[in-house]
Copies of this chain bind each other. A is one copy, B any other.
Amino acid sequence: METRVDGRLVRGDQTRRAVLRKAVDIASVDGLEGLSIGRLAKELEISKSGLFAHFGSKEELQLATIRAARRIYATSVVEPAFAVEPGLGRVWALSESWLEYSKRRVFPGGCFFAKASHEYGARRGPVHDFLAEVNREWIQLVEQTITEAVDRGELAADPVQLAFELNAFYDSANMASLLRDGDGRVYAQARQSIRARLEAAATAGTALPW
Name A residues whose Cβ lies closer than 8 Å to a Cβ of B.
Answer: 28-31, 33-34, 108-110, 114-115, 117-119, 121-123, 128, 131-132, 135, 160-161, 164-165, 167-169, 171-172, 175-176, 178-181, 186, 189-190, 192-193, 200
Contacts of A110 in B (CB 8 A): 121-122
Contacts of A178 in B (CB 8 A): 117-118, 121-122
Contact A189 B169 (CB under 8 A): no
List the number of copies, as a whole number: 2
Contact B164 A190 (CB under 8 A): yes
Looking across the interface, which residue of chain B has its beta carbon closest to that of A29? B122
9 residue pairs of the A-B complex, CB under 8 angstroms, read A29-B123, A115-B119, A115-B122, A132-B179, A164-B190, A165-B193, A168-B169, A168-B172, A200-B200
Looking across the interface, which residue of chain B has its beta carbon closest to that of A134? B179
Name the 9 nearest CB pairs between A and B, nearest first.
Answer: A121-B178, A168-B172, A109-B122, A168-B168, A118-B118, A132-B179, A29-B122, A135-B179, A165-B193
Contacts of A165 in B (CB 8 A): 168-169, 193
Complex formed: what's the CA distance from A109 to B128 in Å? 13
Contacts of A193 in B (CB 8 A): 161, 164-165, 168
Complex formed: what's the CA distance from A5 to B176 in Å? 44
Contacts of A180 in B (CB 8 A): 132
What is the distance, in angstroms, from A168's C-beta to the closest C-beta of chain B?
Answer: 3
Complex formed: what's the CA distance from A160 to B172 in Å? 14
**Pick from B108, B114, B200: contact of A118, CB under 8 Å:** B114
Contacts of A160 in B (CB 8 A): 189
What is the distance, in angstroms, from A129's C-beta to the closest C-beta of chain B?
Answer: 9
Contact A121 B135 (CB under 8 A): no
What is the distance, in angstroms, from A142's C-beta to the closest C-beta of chain B?
Answer: 12
Complex formed: what's the CA distance from A128 to B109 in Å? 13
